[in-house]
Amino acid sequence: MAFVAPAIPYIIAASAAVGAYSSISAGRAQKKQADAQAKQAEADARTQLIARKRALIETMAAQNVSAAAQGRTISSISTLQNEDVRRASYDANIISLGGQSQASNYRAAGSAAQTGGYISGASTLLGGLSQAYNVKTPAATGAK
């Protein structure tokens, strides 16, 4: 047992280093996950924009067919279609801003998690090194 006692401060320091590495790695992993979620939020917004544009085109095509079937000219429904385009443009802005906002939130959370991992890692390492420095082994206290 006497040969283990001098190693205790080194074991504590090594344990602190492993804990610090683990905290930093966890923070980095959370940041990568958040970045992936941000990219997905942006992709989802683009998909919603495409769907909204497709719906507008389909609506306008149906209006054109209806107008033609009734013997009206396309220009007779232009006010209605202009309003549809205006609403679609408004919707597109809302979708785009929502996607950007969500992506920004994910990125901020990822950065905070990474920073938290660094802080936690540094705290673990410093705490462990302090504990290792303050350990009184039998060899250090003169006990035999």
Q: Phi/psi of residue 99, each to 5°?
A: -65, -45
Counting the structural domains of the chain, the total is 1
pLDDT digits (tens, 9 = 90+) for 31-57: 999 999 999 999 999 999 999 999 999
Burial class from Cβ neighbours inside 10 Å (0-12, 13-18, 19+) for residue 100 reads middle
Question: Which tokens in the block code for residue 47?
Answer: 């998909």
User: pLDDT by residue (tens digit) across 56-102?
Assistant: 999 999 998 998 899 888 788 888 899 999 999 999 999 999 999 99
- Radius of gyration in angstroms for the set of CA atoms belonging to the chain, rounded to a whole number: 32
The residue range of the domain holding 50 is 5-141
